[in-house]
Amino acid sequence: MKKSTRCTKLPILLMVIAVVSALLLGVSNSYTAPIIEENRLRTLESKMFSYFPEVDEFLIETVDDEEFFVVKDDDNIQGVATVVKSSGYGGRIELMLAVNNHGYIEGVEILSHSETPGLGSEITEPEWLAQFNGLTAFDEIEISEDIDVIAGATRSCEGVAEGTKIALDNISQAYYDTDDNTFND
């Protein structure tokens, strides 16, 4: 009888420990989530002002369930950025793309990735990312034609190019006026 009682107490004890641990994780997440989000927004704002140092206003707007970061100067849109996710060789690539008020890419920034160190991780190099600067939604943005591929990291490069196309398309649909080739204010 004693062995049977002991066998039932151990699983119950483990279950109680698991429930308490889950509750503690949930509570800590509810306290840290706003801080993490604030830090994320501060980082994105800093990146936007590095692309557009002359602007005086930074806004976050949601259009069709997509989040956009808009910089304005005298109530005129000077640039728009968005964050998108695409697939690389090692998994998800999260990137931020900023365009100026004429639709040209001002910068692409890799925010997170899980690509192979020394190969796919080269997609974070500023020299490689600079190839995207000046391109628009009207450009094809093809690897090997418009964008140099990193040896041994073709899929990672394709993931960044795909993310760039998605971001440009999202920004164009939400903000770009094809009649006068500028952003809608």
| Angle CA 57–61–66, to nearest 5 | 140
Beta carbons of 110 and 92 less than 8 angstroms apart: no
Beta carbons of 156 and 143 less than 8 angstroms apart: no
Per-domain residue ranges for the chain? 48-183
The model's pLDDT over 14-55, given as tens digits with 9 standing for 90+, comes to: 999 999 999 999 889 888 989 988 888 888 888 888 888 888
Beta carbons of 103 and 79 less than 8 angstroms apart: no
What's the pLDDT score for residue 2? Answer: 60
Give the pLDDT band (50/70/90) at residue 4. low
Beta carbons of 97 and 82 less than 8 angstroms apart: yes
Q: Which residue has the tokens 């936007």?
A: 48
